[in-house]
């Protein structure tokens, strides 16, 4: 097993503390989109165009299939922080993985960033 040094252990502990502070998190991506319907007399076809929206769409994978759900403005306000929490969690996990990779590469004398 790879042996992390004191600096590695401190970095891992700091990441663990930040992960422990995370709140609820929703998977997937929250998008804000505008729509142009294409009807010739609609405001969205004006010059300059005034698209419909913005609409909020939540996209995620369920059983390998992409599922999209439209959120109301109230739902966007209610769950927006949960989407931000998910982003922070993914970033922290990426940091932990990078730290772990550095420790393993150092201890195994693997080339840096080996594949």
In order along its 115 residues, the chain shows pLDDT tens digits of 668 999 999 999 999 999 999 999 999 999 999 989 989 889 898 888 899 999 999 999 999 999 999 999 999 999 999 999 999 999 999 999 999 999 999 888 887 765 5
Q: What is the pTM of this model?
A: 0.78
Q: Can you give the residue ranges of every domain in the chain?
A: 26-106
The beta strands (E) that lie in 63-114 are given as 65-71
- Length of the chain (residues): 115
What is the per-residue pLDDT for 115?
Answer: 57
The candidate with the shortest Cα–Cα distance to 87, out of 5, 6, 22, 11, is 22
106, burial (CB in 10 Å: exposed 0-12, middle 13-18, buried 19+): middle
What is the per-residue pLDDT for 113?
Answer: 64
**17: CB partners within 8 A, 6+ apart:** none
């Amino acid at each position: 097993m790879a042996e992390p040094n004191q600096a590695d252990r401190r970095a891992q502990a700091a990441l663990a503390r930040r992960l422990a502070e995370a709140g609820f998190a929703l998977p997937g991506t929250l998008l804000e989109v505008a729509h142009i319907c294409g009807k010739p007399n609609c405001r969205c076809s004006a010059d300059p165009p005034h698209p419909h929206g913005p609409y909020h769409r939540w996209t995620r994978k369920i059983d390998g299939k992409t599922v999209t759900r439209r959120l109301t403005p109230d739902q966007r306000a209610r769950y927006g922080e949960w989407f931000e929490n998910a982003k922070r969690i993914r970033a922290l996990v990426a940091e932990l993985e990078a730290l772990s990779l550095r420790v393993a590469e150092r201890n195994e004398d693997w080339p840096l960033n080996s594949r």
